[in-house]
Amino acid sequence: MGKMPSAMQASDYSSVTHWLKAVKAAGTLDADAVGTKMRAMPVDDMFARNAMLRIDGALVHDLYLVQVKTPTESKGPWDYYKILATIPGSQAFPKLEDGACPLAPK
């Protein structure tokens, strides 16, 4: 459509693609087996690099501090941001053992 996908569209694409890969790897549509595969496989795509899906359903991935580029810094369409810092997922998300989700299996 000639438009950049939104962050929500990119995350939806990433999650569905990850689910499809897990279904293929598990060889079944059984939810427990597919969920186990999804948590065992890293998510590494345009949305998240080296991310892991936790037992509580959180996708632990790096976050970025960005700055909007000036018009002279931009090299083309959709080139809006420069990354100033990367916050590792291990620091960006609360740890399960710290009570991140009270509903997570123990």
* In the chain, where the domains are located: 1-59, 62-92
Q: Under 8 Å CB-to-CB from 38, ≥6 apart: which residues? A: 18, 19, 22, 53
Report yes or no: 56 and 100 within 8 Å, Cβ to Cβ.
yes
pLDDT, residue 100, reads 64
* String of DSSP letters for 71-82: TTT--STT--EE
Percent of the chain whose pLDDT exceeds 90: 73
What pLDDT digit, counting tens, does each position of 70-99 carry?
Answer: 999 999 988 999 999 999 999 998 888 777
Q: Under 8 Å CB-to-CB from 72, ≥6 apart: which residues? A: none
The Cα 57–Cα 75 span in angstroms is 37
